[in-house]
Amino acid sequence: MDVTATARRLLESVPAHRTAGIQVLLAADGVARLTMTVPGCLATAEGSLHVGGLVTLLDATGLAAVIASCAGDDEVDDLLPLGTSVTLDLRAPGRGRLVCECTMDDDARAALRRVLAGEIPRARIGTLSEIIDGTGAVICSGTFRWNVRTRRQGLDGEQGLRAALR
């Protein structure tokens, strides 16, 4: 299902994502593609994207892929994903316009579907994203580990993803 508009509305409203200039290009069927042009406020002295900016882009792209695995706005609103760790493989300086893509693998999508269906209370899943520059060179790849559950299975007073990102 194409939830690009929902992912765009949620993720582009996050202050860190606005600062980085992150834009959602695609969020559908477990695939996410986001872009940004390296802003001066996140550039190193050499003009490449600071590692904090790389992590921000990888995090947003992984989260967009999780959103893209939902069947619609109701599931997105009920979702409580929590990033628990990140591993980076830095390969080259990132300059100019960068594109990051993530495709949820079948096992992660199946575990997420079971959580959303209420079959299991939570799951630990991973997302692998890759950042490329305008020449097609891989700048960085990164794995985010997520603990996902739903608001129904969360603690009293917890809000779903939509409310948490407001």
In a domain, 129, yes or no: yes
Q: How many CB atoms lie within 10 A of CB 117?
A: 10
pLDDT band at 165 (very low <50, low <70, confident <90, very high): low
In a domain, 38, yes or no: yes
- pLDDT at res. 129: 98
In the three-class reduction of DSSP (H, G, I as helix; E, B as strand; rest coil), residue 109 is classed as helix
- pLDDT at res. 69: 97
Structure tokens at 151: 């608001």
- pLDDT at res. 103: 97
- pLDDT at res. 152: 75
Task: Note down the domain range covering 78.
Answer: 4-161
- Domain with residue 45: its CATH number is 3.10.129.10
In a domain, 166, yes or no: no
- pLDDT at res. 20: 96
Strands (E), 2-75: 23-28, 31-37
CA distances from 131 to 89, 123, 152 (A): 10, 26, 34
Question: Considering only CA atoms, which of 65, 94, 66, 92 is closest in space to residue 79?
Answer: 66
Mean pLDDT confidence for 20-30: 97
Question: Considering only CA atoms, which of 24, 31, 36 is closest in space to residue 69?
Answer: 31
Q: How many CB atoms lie within 10 A of CB 162?
A: 18
Quote helix, strand, coil % in the chain, to nearest 5. 35, 35, 30
Chain position carrying tokens 């069947």:
71
CB 138 within 8 A of CB 100: no
How many domains are there within the chain?
A: 1
DSSP state of 72: S
In a domain, 55, yes or no: yes
- pLDDT at res. 162: 55
Model confidence at 15: pLDDT above 70: yes
pLDDT band at 25 (very low <50, low <70, confident <90, very high): very high
pLDDT band at 158 (very low <50, low <70, confident <90, very high): low
Over the stretch 100-155, which tens digit does the pLDDT of each residue have? 999 999 999 999 999 999 999 999 999 999 999 999 999 999 999 999 999 876 55
Over the stretch 32-90, which tens digit does the pLDDT of each residue have? 999 999 999 999 999 999 999 999 999 999 999 999 999 999 999 999 999 999 999 99
